[in-house]
Amino acid sequence: MESHDQPAAAPSAGLKAHFDDCAASLLRLLSARLGNRTDAEDLLQELWLKLATTDARVVENGSPENNEINNPRAYLHRMALNLANDLVRERIRRRGREAAYSDVMVAEEGVVAVDPGPSPEQALGDKIELARVREALRQLPARAGEVFRRHRIEGQSHAQVAEAMRISRSAVEKHMATAMKYLLRALNNPDST
Amino acid sequence: MDQGMSISQQILDSAAEWHVRLEGDAPDYDGFAAWLEADPLHRPAYDQVIALDILVDQHLASMADVVTLLPTPAPTAPSKPIAANDDMPMIPLWRRAGVAAAVAVLVGSASLLVSNPWSSRIEVETGRGESRVVQLADASNIALDGNSRITYADDNPRSIELAQGSAMFTVKHDAAHPFNVSAGAYQIHDLGTEFAVSRGHGHLTISVASGSVDITGPGMARLKALPGDRIDVAEEGGQARIERFKVDPDSVASWRNGRLIYDNIPLRLVVADINRYAPNRITVVPQHAERRFSGVLTIGDGSQLAPNLANLMDLPLDEQGRDARLGAGNMP
């Protein structure tokens, strides 16, 4: 990893103070999520640097779109978890490819890293996973399917889904959890369909 | 995904519950950390939530296909006996897409007929290698890439048609007058933002730098794109293939600086982009189409894009007259 010695604007006193306050809890969350302390410390550093640019934007535009900034503690934890999930996402992608690729990675001049494409086996694996998830979607209870579509595919917030379907926020969460359970089971259990 | 051990349904269920709870009103991050620490299988179970996320992002259209078919019950009349429809047989995507496309065409021509006959359409076009910024009366502006064309009615500059090429829209939000971009059968509804749209060769890309946009079109549910989202729509044999990629919001419409910036984007999409600039027609052979490219390409006069990409990817480029095939032929 490159050293972060570029002059980053220091986060404003507000968020920075909160960052210091919950650094231990952030590190715990990151360590638990990633399963190791080194990655967690790297991401904590990245979060601090990100904060500098976020704060610059906050100063520029008044406030970020979400109101989570009004709860800095939750905001920081959300940011940390997003960073960790992005890292996991990247690793899953890479692992999926490497597992099936016989090609080697190509790196050029530091700026360019090229990943080999999926092999026919990998493409088939993807197809099977997709078919399983599609089948699970088909079997979802109707309301869970609608909540999943609105929230996950159309990008509506829980609040918007609740309003559109005239149901409570907790009902939205319940339906969404049902949908996720169906889909996760389908993805993990080859015999489920 | 092989994780070498099987995760019980019960653990997967609690991963699903945590995922949903963390998106809710009062997420309990300490509780989540404690749950992860409680069992070594909890972390890989939660990784599966992410794996599912990736899968859904890659196949938005085909997911929407399955779940949009259930008619949304009218919320005002919950007593209506519509439950029977829950078991409705699925209609294949191509049929629904066909119907939607037909409707879109009708609506499109109808709106032409009823629009103000005294208004005229303004057309702005750029040649290869040329770029232009169009300043609209409401302080919104449109940066037009080379070889691109937009048209709009002079009495309605907040409804733009991208006929060809690539444009970056910086839109001043006005709730009373939504800003819309149409690109073929697809509509991009702006919610006050900066976003880029590229169109050509049966392929559409929408990238969002800030704010958000809603995208609608045949065969797809309304799709919201947020900063850092790159949505690609490819027409393939009558079906739309819709994918979402993550990009650096700062790299959106990097052609304004004479560069194309990629991070982990399939070659078929990179090739679709460089075809807007290249003097010849570039294709990538199927066995390399899904390979990912990360890097920066300098546009210049467009003629070196394909050779440079081939070089960086360590692939041969077979140039025959006006056609160039990436991944075909022998290495030079």
CATH of the domain at B314: 3.55.50.30
CATH 1.10.3210 fits A13-100, yes or no: no
Q: What pLDDT was estimated at residue A122?
A: 62
Comparing alpha-carbon positions, the chain B residue that sits nearest to A180 is B16
Q: What is the pLDDT of residue B95?
A: 32
How would residue B328 be classed by pLDDT, with cut points 50, 70 and 90? Answer: confident
B26 in Cβ contact with A21 (< 8 Å): no
Question: Do B295 and A123 make contact, defined as CB atoms within 8 angstroms?
Answer: no
CATH no. for residue B107? 2.60.120.1440
Q: Is A24 on the interface with B (CB under 8 A)?
A: no
Q: Which of A60-64, B1-5, B101-105 has the lowest mean pLDDT?
A: B101-105
CB contact under 8 A, A145 and B67: yes
> How far apart (Å, rounded) are the C-alpha atoms in residues B319 and B280?
9
Give me the pLDDT at residue A114, please.
42
pLDDT by residue (tens digit) across B130-186?
888 888 878 788 999 988 999 988 888 889 999 999 999 999 888 888 899 999 889
Using CB atoms, which residue from B20, B33, B54 is nearest to A32? B33
* Residue A122 near residue A180 (C-beta atoms within 8 A): no
Single-letter amino acid code for the residue at B113: L
Question: How far apart, in whole angstroms, are the C-alpha atoms of residue A34 and residue A39?
Answer: 7
* Structure-model confidence comparison of residues B122 and B260, the more confident one: B260
Closest Cα to residue A143, out of B56, B10, B77, B83?
B83
Place of tokens 């019980």: B8
Where is pLDDT greater, at B129 or B81?
B129
Of A130, A164, A184, the CB nearest to B48: A184
Residue A42: exposed, middle, or buried by beta-carbon count in 10 A (0-12, 13-18, 19+)? middle
Q: What is the pLDDT of residue B154?
A: 80
Distance from CA of A51 to the nearest CA of B (A): 16
| Mean pLDDT for the stretch of residues B270-299 | 90
Q: Residue B235 has which token pair?
A: 């027409």
Residues B242 and B118 in one domain: yes
Q: Is the pLDDT of residue B100 over 80?
A: no
Does residue B216 share a domain with residue B105?
A: yes
Answer whether B292 sits within 8 Å of A149, measured CB to CB: no
Tell me if B199 sits within 8 A of B164, measured CB to CB.
yes
Residues B276 and B242 grouped into a single domain: no
* C-beta atoms of B86 and A142 within 8 A: yes
Q: How many CB atoms lie within 10 A of CB B313?
A: 25
Higher pLDDT, A43 or A138: A43
Interface test with A, best of B8, B10, B63, B241 (most A CBs within 10 A): B63
More confident residue, B142 or B329: B142
Task: State the ipTM, two decimals.
Answer: 0.79
The matching CATH number, chosen from 3.40.1390.30, 4.10.780.10, 1.10.10.10, 3.30.360.10, for A118-188 is 1.10.10.10
- DSSP result, chain A: -----S-PPPPPHHHHHHHHHHHHHHHHHHHHHHS-HHHHHHHHHHHHHHHHHHHHHHHHHSS-SSGGGGSHHHHHHHHHHHHHHHHHHHHHHHHHHHHH--SPPEEETTTEEEBPPPPHHHHHHHHHHHHHHHHHHHHS-HHHHHHHIIIIIS---HHHHHHHHT--HHHHHHHHHHHHHHHHHHHH-TT--
User: Within an 8 Å CB–CB cutoff, is residue A165 touching chain B?
Assistant: yes
Which range marks the domain in which residue B67 is found?
9-72+82-87
Q: Chain B closest CA to A12's CA: distance in Å?
A: 22
Kindly determine whether residue A148 and residue B25, on different chains, have CB atoms separated by under 8 Å.
no
Q: Tell me, yes or no, if the pTM score tops 0.90.
A: no
- Looking at the structure, do residues B264 and B119 belong to the same domain, yes or no? no
B191 and B222 belong to one structural domain:
yes
Contacts of B6 (CB under 8 A, 6+ apart): A188
The predicted pLDDT at position A173 comes to: 94
Cross-chain residue pair A116–B63, CB shorter than 8 Å? no
- Total number of domains in chain B: 3
CB B159 within 8 A of CB B289: no
